[in-house]
Chain A
Amino acid sequence: MVKVEVYFSPVCPHCPGARKLVTEVVSQFGGSVEVEEVNTYTKEGMERGMANQVMAVPTVFVDGERKFVGFPFSRQDLEDSIRQAQGDSP
């Protein structure tokens, strides 16, 4: 199962676009890809972000690898990142 993590904050004007695109793209992959959204405006979210050196939102990780910082990023690039992770998955 490939995991996509989206670090966001509720006051970030670029984050809704990133979250929406990630949700749409992940849904194309059926149940083989899961999404977790991490709200950095919570104590837990901020601590988790800092532990992963997240210093800007949105930041998107695919299978633990930082892939995108900021938005926009293209649908194609996101799809390619997920497919690459699937290819690497055992």
Chain B
Amino acid sequence: MSEELYDVIIIGGGPAGLTASIYTSRQGLRTLIIERKQLGGRAWGPHTIENFPGFPMGINGTDLMEKFISQSRKFGVEFKEETFVGLTDMGEAKMVMTRKGIYLSKAVILTIGLQRKSLSLPGETEYKGRGVCYCAICDGPFFKDMPVAVVGAGKEAVEDALTLSRTSSKVYAIPGSKGYGEGFEEELEELAQLSNVEILEGTDIASIEGEDVVTGLTLKNGPTGKLDVNGVFLILENVGTGSMIKDAGIETDTGGCIQVDENQETNLKGIYAAGDCACSGMQVVTAAGDGGKAGLAAFRFVRSLKS
């Protein structure tokens, strides 16, 4: 275990966490960000963000996040690329556990984002990158003139099926037993009209099969049988937070969103949450705003300990 006691540990390096770190470190608090993969989180990437204030022409997600990161570094924030696995509130000190170590801090800000819920289908992990894909626009060209399946619900699933219908010979659209959902009837109607699309409602996937690469699917809960496909595009469901949060005694709502008060504090004193994990609007601007609030609240909390 590290002997060092941080003032604030921020778990997650997306826009909420980076903004929180600017506020805490600028106030002289020793701040550590633990991020398991890419600083910038979901906002980081080549997509254009058109609704973040101050950029009337829009800004590339990577460029925007690099500005956030640069500002954090400017105020001396420390970074560790480690995977968060647990949190224990010991009162005035909080213990943060990662796969590589244990760290102590006076306050913790959770900005862990959304967890994408894997469908956990047999064959999903085995065939990832060998027929199992998660991005239609990225990987659709590999399945030109081949049959594919799009598994999942929501607007994203419908849009991906439409994208693939333009290049694949056949698209099986499989929303699952709960159906596609509501709010995008126009897109769904367009999909249903396509001659090379077959929407299979009321059925689920039992397994993904293949040899070196995917060769098909087995269905359940509906018209049972097998489908011959070369590609399976999985649309993952966004869920709130994982069991680590619940195990720490932090309250969430039924959707997994961490419950916070007007200062972004959870039910545990000195532990805060901001951004997508607190379901605060799912936008970069709301994540940054709530990250700032959490940072300010954490600063006031740590200052109160010193006095």
Residues in chain A within 8 A of chain B (CB atoms): 9, 11-17, 40-41, 46, 49-50, 53-57, 59, 66, 69-76
Contacts and interface: CB of A to CB of B under 8 A. Distances in A.
B213 A55 contact: yes
15 contacts: A11-B138, A12-B138, A13-B45, A14-B45, A17-B38, A40-B141, A46-B142, A55-B130, A57-B139, A59-B129, A69-B129, A70-B129, A70-B134, A71-B38, A74-B37
Contacts, number: 72
B152 interface: no
Interface residues of B, number: 25
A31 to B, nearest CB: 26
Interface of B: 36-38, 44-47, 62, 81, 128-131, 133-135, 137-139, 141-143, 212-213, 231
Given A14-B135, A17-B62, A74-B36, A55 B129 contact: yes
Which label, helix, strand, loop or mixed, suits the secondary structure of the B interface? loop
Contacts of B129: 54-56, 59, 66, 69-70
A20 B136 CA distance: 22
| Residue among B131, B134, B135 with the highest chain A CB neighbour number at 10 A | B135
A69 B126 CA distance: 12
Contacts of B81: 74-76
B137 A12 contact: yes
Contacts of A11: 137-138
A56 B46 contact: no
A16 B45 contact: yes
| Residue among A14, A46, A76 with the highest chain B CB neighbour number at 10 A | A14
A54 B231 CA distance: 12
